[in-house]
Every structure is written in structure tokens, then in C-alpha cells.
Amino acid sequence: MDTTSLADKVAIITGASSGIGAATARLLAAEGCRVMLTARSQAKIEALADELGTAACAFTADLTDPATGPRLAECALGMFGRIDILLANAGIYIPGEFTEGHPDDYATLIDTNVTGVMRCIHAVLPAMRDQHSGDILITSSISGHVDIHWEPVYSASKHAVESLAHTLRRQLLGDNIRVGTVAPGMVANELWGITEEAAIARHVAEHTALRSVDVARAIVFMLTQPPHITIRDLVMVPQRQDL
């Protein structure tokens, strides 16, 4: 398959109800990609699928449910017959003093940011191996490259997916499957409760945050490289972020 064109490809995007996932869904659909949107917020992903038209569908699911990965892959294959791209993007954020948080919340974060990613990748790999092609991208974070002390559990989760991507990429060399991570610094979006365009624009003007669409453009860049190129790590931070 032509890796420089996204037309007619099939992409599964987790965490598509807002932020980076929704922005990427819009860009991929504009390039002619068929997208399966998944998140827990049914109304949001259904509205986005309606906006994107017939090339999109919504699959409401919680990634902490072990059944979600296999059901997602099965549904994409049933609807579209193939899976070209997995953007394992869904994630949650817990900052703060380690001793002040609750271990059950930490377990939920790991279930979402790490185990959920692994389950989705595990579920799509048989189809990608059969096709002898595929792109797996994980939304990591600058927190996966730098040990950020004010968000220890989140930082640990993003280090874990970085390690997963680097090792899995090497296991899949012979399968013509590319594996990479996009690692943004601060993105002004729903993760921080920043939803007003004026507030986002203020951050952008001050160079203190990226927009979700900036990350989506980087993801399109990674996905449209010629077949001999894997962008293994793409780290992008707002110009004034001191990390």
C-alpha cells in the first residue's frame, strides 16, 4: 500500500471524543481516510462521526474493559475489511504529590494509558500482519522522555509506552509494520479543562501551549512518510515550555 497517501486507509483512533484524537480524526477524514472513533462519551463521538460523514463510525467503549480491544478490531474489520492505522491516543492525567493520591486512581491510569494501549495494539496486530502493512502510533508525552516530578504516575505511564513502542517496533521489523510515538508538551485542550478558543489562543500567543491540531498535523506527517521511513519518536513542545 502507498504509505504516503491516507486515501481509503482505515484508522482506529482511541480517545477520539476530544482534544488530539478528535483533531486527528478530522485531518485523517479530510485526507480520505475511513476512521473508527472510540471513547466513552457516546454523544461526542457520534456527533463527530456525523460531522465527518459516511467514512466515519463511532464505537463507544471503555478501554479499561479487557473486551474493548478485541471488539474494536473485530468491528473495524467487519465494517471496513482491514486496519491500516491504530492511533492509541486515549489517556488520562493525574498530577500531584504521590502520597496524596489514591493507588486505585493510579491503577485506573495505568489501565487506561498503558494496559489499554497494549490491548488495542495486541488486537489489531493479527490483521496488520496478514496485510503485511500497518502503522501503530501511540500518543505519549514529553513526560515519557523527561521524569516530571509533579506527575510521577503519569510520567511512569508515558515512559512505559515509550519502552513498549521501541521494543515492539523491533519485533515487527519483518512485518512491514511501523511503530512510533508522538510526544507533545502542554497542549491546551480538554485534558487541562481548557476549551474556550480565547484561552487556547492566549496560550498559543504566549508560546506556552500547543493546539490539538498541531499534534494532529505531526501525526499526519508521521503517517505519510515513504515506506522506508519510520518516525520512531516525535517530540514537540511549545517554544516556552521549560522541559
Ligand X SMILES: NC(=O)c1ccc[n+]([C@@H]2O[C@H](COP(=O)([O-])OP(=O)(O)OC[C@H]3O[C@@H](n4cnc5c(N)ncnc54)[C@H](OP(=O)(O)O)[C@@H]3O)[C@@H](O)[C@H]2O)c1
Footprint of ligand X on this chain (CB under 6 A)?
14-21, 39-41, 62-64, 89-93, 112, 139, 141, 184, 186-187, 189-191, 212
- Shortest distance in whole angstroms from residue 7 CB to ligand X: 25
Q: Please give the Cα distance from 7 to 24 (Å, whole number).
A: 14
Q: Is 154 a catalytic residue?
A: yes
Pick the catalytic residue from 36, 69, 143, 154.
Answer: 154
Comparison of 78 and 193: residue with beta carbon closer to ligand X: 193
- Shortest distance in whole angstroms from residue 188 CB to ligand X: 7
Comparison of 127 and 183: residue with beta carbon closer to ligand X: 183
- Shortest distance in whole angstroms from residue 129 CB to ligand X: 25
Comparison of 3 and 89: residue with beta carbon closer to ligand X: 89
Comparison of 90 and 200: residue with beta carbon closer to ligand X: 90
- Shortest distance in whole angstroms from residue 33 CB to ligand X: 18
Catalytic residue annotation: 154
